[in-house]
Amino acid sequence: MLQGHGKNLEQVVVMVLNSFPDQHPRGVLPALAAAMDDFQNPHVQAHAASAVLNFSENCTPDILTPYLDGIVSKLLVLLQNGKQMVQEGALTALASVVDSSQEHF
């Protein structure tokens, strides 16, 4: 039964990646950055920050560096948000981005 769920999850991930203008895995970052702009939905912002955290933990500095300024700027804006869940997500994501970007930060 779990195998079936894994296959469905894979299909969903492929479908989502195919909807991005840039289908390389780095295309995820601009999509997440756009989601962080959704100030009407703090949950979306918090989830986007968490996704940035997960993405940055598993990527190399060369993938992250071209998006570093934009991602860091958006995370800093989220840190100033009044919602604690958004602030917490942004702070942990920022720490991960800094760690993953190494000397490029």
**How many folded domains does the chain comprise?**
1
7-66 pLDDT, tens digit per residue, is 565 666 666 666 666 556 557 888 889 889 989 989 889 989 988 998 888 888 888 888
Quote the domain boundaries for residue 50: 24-104
Residue 4 domain-assigned?
A: no
Q: Does residue 90 sit within a domain?
A: yes
What does the pLDDT average to over 69-86? 91
For residue 70, what pLDDT band results from cuts at 50, 70 and 90? Answer: very high
Residue 1 is predicted with a pLDDT of 37
Residue 46 lies in a domain: yes
Q: Is residue 57 domain-resident?
A: yes
Mean pLDDT along residues 61-90: 91
Residue 94 lies in a domain: yes
- Predicted TM-score (pTM) of the model is 0.73
Q: Is residue 35 part of a domain?
A: yes
DSSP codes joined into one string, the chain:
-HHHHHHHHHHHHHHHHHHSSS-SGGGHHHHHHHHTT-TT-HHHHHHHHHHHHHHHHTS-HHHHGGGHHHHHHHHHHHHTSS-HHHHHHHHHHHHHHHHHHGGG-
